[in-house]
Amino acid sequence: MLHHTHLPPVAFARVRWGPWHGEALRRWSQVVSVSAPSPGRFSSSAVALAVILPVLGIFILVGIYIIWKQRRSKENLLSDHAKEKGRLYKALKLKRAAANSGWRRARLHFVTVTLDPDTAHPKLILSEDRRCVKLGDTRQPVPNNPQRFDFVVSVLGSEYFIAGCHYWEVSVADKTKWALGVCSESVSRKGKVTASPANGHWLLRQNRGNEYEALTSPQTSFRLKKPPRCVGIFLDYEAGVISFYNVTDQSHIFTFTHSFSGPLRPFFEPCLHDGGKNMAPLIICSELQKPEESTVPKPEEKGLANGDVALQVDPFLLPAQAPELLPLRDMILSWPSDIGPALQGLKVPSF
């Protein structure tokens, strides 16, 4: 019968945990002690991570804020642009309305203007009623008085304006060049004249086609949406304003501002023939009526020469002849129906 010898528990433990086990356990404890940081000390990577994460978060927040700010600025810019566009549109409408009402108010000061033959260049031919002027081919034998233009083919109105508001209209239909406006009575009439406000001229000129100039210093060039067949000139002496209007579409063209002193007179220049394209006359419109057909004598005819004295001759003593009429059917203008009553009773001021 076999007897099993039982080892004591202590001996058994010695068998399982020999010396080599103790060495392994010692080494493992050293590794653990190296890997795990001691209390109160942090590794450099942990410190770096602790610093980088908040900074990165701050950068992200700043980036989000910048993007939001840019989007907000863009939205505000678009909103401001839309508001500015609307404001400009309203301003343009108001400006057009003001120009239209200004033209209608100016017409309330309509006056009859006639041409002064003593100031007309020798080549200019005036109609008998002194409301029509065109350039002839030859110089007429007229007195060379101090008031007459001898270089610029111009003529002044007979009226002198020293106060108040005055408005007149001139037909420029079928013309390619012309100059109209107001000038000082003291302007130079002899030799070449530079037209400018400094020299006493406030003029508007058509150069060619749809090109126009206000004779400022330097000149102001512009184009018009609709070329005028009739130009309105308005003078407010006390306010220092000379405005030009396109009667064809009732729009404002240009305004001079100046502090006036001394008499002012209407100015007319039909300009040169422009190769035969600018033969039509300038016609001053009459108050409360359409432009009438006027007889413009040829240079060789015995009409009213510039500066000559008009003689009253019995028509029965003259041979019968048919007067030569200008083709003015295209120059007849229509007055608006609403302006007639406003002009009733107005009288032309005498100077």
pLDDT tens-place string over residues 220-245: 999 998 999 999 999 999 999 999 99
The total number of structural domains that make up the chain: 1
Residues 295-338 pLDDT 10s: 444 444 434 444 443 434 444 334 444 434 334 333 333 344 34
One-letter identity of residue 288: L
Pick left, alpha or beta for residue 173 (phi over 0 → left; psi -120 to 50 → alpha; otherwise beta): beta
Residue 236: φ, ψ to 5°: -115, 100
Does 104 reside within a domain?
no
Range of the domain at 264: 115-285
Does 204 reside within a domain?
yes
Q: Rank 81-90, 275-284, 322-331, 335-344 by mean pLDDT and report only the highest.
A: 275-284
The H-assigned helical ranges of the chain are 9-16, 19-35, 44-107, 340-343
**C-alpha angle with apex 306: 111 to 205, nearest 5 degrees?**
55
Does 91 reside within a domain?
no
Residue 28, pLDDT score:
58
Does 84 reside within a domain?
no
Does 107 reside within a domain?
no
Q: How far apart are CA 272 and CA 177, in angstroms?
A: 8
Does 9 reside within a domain?
no
Residues 165-206 pLDDT 10s: 999 999 999 999 999 999 999 999 999 989 999 999 999 999
Residue 72, pLDDT score:
86
C-alpha distance across the termini of the chain, in Å: 169
Does 137 reside within a domain?
yes
Closest CA to 197 of 251, 257, 125, 283: 257
Q: How far apart are CA 330 and CA 248, in angstroms?
A: 13
In CATH, what number is assigned to the domain containing residue 251?
2.60.120.920
| Tokens encoding 179 | 């100059």
Does 166 reside within a domain?
yes
